[in-house]
Structure 1
Amino acid sequence: MRGRLQADLAERRAARERAGRQRSRRALRVDGPCHQADAKGRWVDFCSNDYLGLAREPSLLEAARQSCGAGAGASPLVSGHSAAHAGLEEALADWLGAEAAVLLPSGYQANLALGPVLLGRGEVALADRLNHASLNDGLRLSGARIRRYAHADAADAERRCDDRVRWLVTDSVFSMDGDVAPLGALAGLADRRGLGLWVDDAHGLGVLGPGGRGALAAFGVAPDARVVTFGKALGTQGAAILGDAALIDELVNAARGVIYSTALAPMLVAATRHALDRLRDEAWRRERLHAHIARFQAGLARAGLPRPDSRTPIQPIVLGDDVRAVAASEALEARGYLVRAIRPPTVPEGTARLRVTLSAAHAEAEIDGLVEALGDVLARAVA
């Protein structure tokens, strides 16, 4: 590596370390329904998005094994789009009440693909201030002007709306806070002003709404463009964009993320189709998850700890200071609980937090144990 670049990278790392924001990956191995391990120990995993406990279901692995291959071999417009891909798209569209769907390798790529198709350079999008990075980057890639409204505030969105705005863009469930967008009010604004409505329901699908159809279904809202991802409640990997047939046709013909990327792996398509069946047929998973959410919040209240304003599996414990959040995460790890510290730029300055995520696969005793450990760790941090 050239000397100037090496010095620059070393200084960047040193700055992150001084701010308590240096990050690293850890090579963990699965060691139970909600457990991770390595050579140093074993932990209950409270930072996974596997909300329904499907990621480690043997039947999903068997569905993947019986698929037509580990890789699609080509992009969808060449030869990578199979009957299995088409079947999953049709099943998703039918279940979620859309005309059509198109698969992509990730939710991030789905939002990047959507932005330049929905908006052109200089056009204006109205976006929630705390939208996910993939929504922000999809808008930036389009060249659109992004006008921010106060988080989850439909009244502020209306105040900031004028004739130049073309699209209203929001997450349904916000991934770092666990709160839900006012989708009914936002849909009403879009209808009154003739705006397109683009919603990412990554963290709502499988968790909220009738039959687990997501936050949009809970509000009775049908957006013009909807992104759902498979790496949360469905326990696999990949994503889909859903909308009317004309939008999906335009994406197939114009979205670079669809045209120039290898199609989703057949083994993931098969596993996701099986997970979708499990999600629809096994309501007990969602019921157990919501019981866990209530148990966690009741435990926090009994321990005298603040309860997050969230009715979803995402339960943030906001500590503010980056170093304090990292220290609390390390202290929980020493007690046997894996809870990551989330720091800027993932969250706004001064809002570093522990992001607790709950799963149907957790045991009640594990939730109670985490609450007890949180009480001890946070009491020491205050002292």
Structure 2
Amino acid sequence: MMASRDSSPNDFAVDHNPKRKPQLHQGRSSREVDEELIKLRNENFNLKLRLHFKDRVGEGSVRASGSSDAVCRELEDAKIVIHALRLEIAEKTQLLKDAAVAISEHEEREKEFVLESQAKIAELEGYITHLQDEKPLEALFAQDLKRMEEKVARQIDDLHKAKKQIEHLKHELSERDREKASSDDKLMEITRENSELVSLLQEHYKFGVIANQMMELQKKELDECLAEKLGFINRLNEILPELSSQNDLLKEATMTVQELLTQQETTDLKANLSRELLENYKAAITESKIEIHNITDDIMKWTSNCRSGNRAGSDSNSAKIKSDISDNDLSMQSTEFSVTMALPQPEAASLPPGKAQDGSGKHLRGHGKSSFTGLRQFVKCWGRQYSKSPATNAASRSLLSHAIGSPFPRLLSTTN
């Protein structure tokens, strides 16, 4: 009765999928693995118990009815079930072994994890103690942090200002780039102009060297001209006293002639004497004017050719000479006018200036002659005319020698 109750047909149901294996899920906890092992052990024990009861039932039924067909079929079914159960037991056993290996590996990993966790816990505990020791410094750190925040805020403001300044500088840089481009163009133009100016300067320098050389030559020539002019002025200064003395002599001769004319007794002799004497006197005065005019022209010519630095002194000298000459001309003209008014007018026309002629028809030019050439010519002509009348010869000679001075007696003696 007990055997039949324990071994019901439901208990010996055939498993149609005996090779199905339970899957071991990786990543399960150790508790789930332990529960799975306990369940597998219970199933293994139940299977063994069922096999044991099945064997006993089979032995009893064989004894009761050995030749029954139903019993044979049940035995065959029981053998099949037993074989399937054995296979399942083998699979379960293998699963148990694999689970045991996995559990051992899991335990090792758990041990390693526990050791690592303990080391981390110790490290964190040390860090916590270190933080607890540094807790009084938190106030200082807070102050430093506040100062750093303020500093960062100031730096942010400075950064904004710097950004604005950078934008402004970029704008100025772009403007300077444009100005630089324009200045580069101007520099190129200035460089070209400078090269042209350098070439012009070189040419001007060459011309300046040539001009300096020419100026040196002109300076030498002007120095020579100045020396010659000074010599000429010295000569003129030497001649001026002679000209003044000549003017005095002419005045005295005019007065003597007037006295002689008043003493003449015969009108024809007076007319002839006055005509010839006046012509000779005009010739002498004209020659003196020519000499003075030539000297003045030479002075003016040398003055215009000499250096401008000595122009003031030479102009003063020439002005002085001109004033002296003009005074002499005025005195001569006044003397000539007085003689003309005292004597009757000659029949022959007076000669033009610069072309006075003597009795032989030769021109009297006194630039290279002595200052007394015209006066001597006048005295010779006068002596030749008056040597023919013995009555007036002695008186006129004595008057002329007394009025004029020493040169005229010698001239009169030579003419006689």
TM-score range, shorter chain: under 0.3
Higher helix share: 2
TM-score (norm 2): 0.18
Structure whose alpha-carbon radius of gyration is higher:
2
TM-score (norm 1): 0.19
Give the number of the structure with larger relative contact order, counting CA–CA contacts within 8 Å between residues 6 or more apart.
Answer: 1
Higher strand share: 1
